[in-house]
A = this chain, B = another copy of it.
Amino acid sequence: MHRQAKYDIRSVRKLTHSELVQQRLTVTNVATAPRHPIRLIAEDVRSLYNVGSLFRTADSFLVDTLVLTGFTPTPPRKEITKTALGATETVPWTSFSTTAEAIEAQRRDGYTVLALELTTTAKQIDAMSTTDYPVCLVVGNELTGVRPETLAICDGAVMIPMFGVKHSLNVAVAAGIALYELVRQLP
């Protein structure tokens, strides 16, 4: 089998569970670890599996708080826990019945609130300013996105560059990309 020489792949193997554990936070010390100044509001997310996936992603990127609003289901729910793979225990989360209350609470904590949505004034997610942080991202319903009345009270919107026919991503995928970018550009 021919092989390109760009990489040294001698003895390449997956990191073992114990090697990964050494690199990562534990359930005990994550509770007091400093977290990234990034929060996520999930408004009207219908799917329990998407909510579970958001918890898992929020754990991976050490998001400060996951905020569930509207009819987004909250733990404990079997399907959330299953998909979250334990992240419901490691991610600080809270819920509000309305997104407006949630946004006000984030503002009181000094967060800039940006919708992840294709709007007339959205800027590209890879062009964050240092003054955008601490930042709270808002994602919305699987079919209808962020509510117009929520968009109206956000500080702005950010969008993921898309190139195809459909111009939409699964909400958990979109949130994952956006949170990855917000961490990558942390000032």
Contact surface of A with B, Cβ cutoff 8 Å? 1-4, 6-9, 11-15, 20, 23-27, 30, 36, 49, 53, 56-62, 83, 85-87, 90-91, 104, 107, 112, 117-121, 126, 129, 131-132, 145-146, 148, 151-157, 160-170, 172-174, 176-177, 180-181, 183-184
Contact = CB atoms under 8 A, between A and B. Distances in A.
Given A148-B14, A152-B9, A153-B3, A57 B165 contact: no
A100 B160 CA distance: 33
* Residue of A60, A90, A151, A155 contacting most chain B CB atoms (<10 Å): A60
Given A61-B164, A177-B180, A119 B156 contact: no
B24 A164 contact: yes
A22 to B, nearest CB: 11
Contacts of A145: 14
A45 to B, nearest CB: 14
A24 to B, nearest CB: 5
Contacts of A132: 6
B165 A12 contact: no
Given A12-B119, A155-B7, A169 B176 contact: yes
A170 B53 contact: yes
Contacts of A180: 160, 177, 180-181
A24 B165 CA distance: 6
A133 B177 CA distance: 21
A104 B25 CA distance: 39
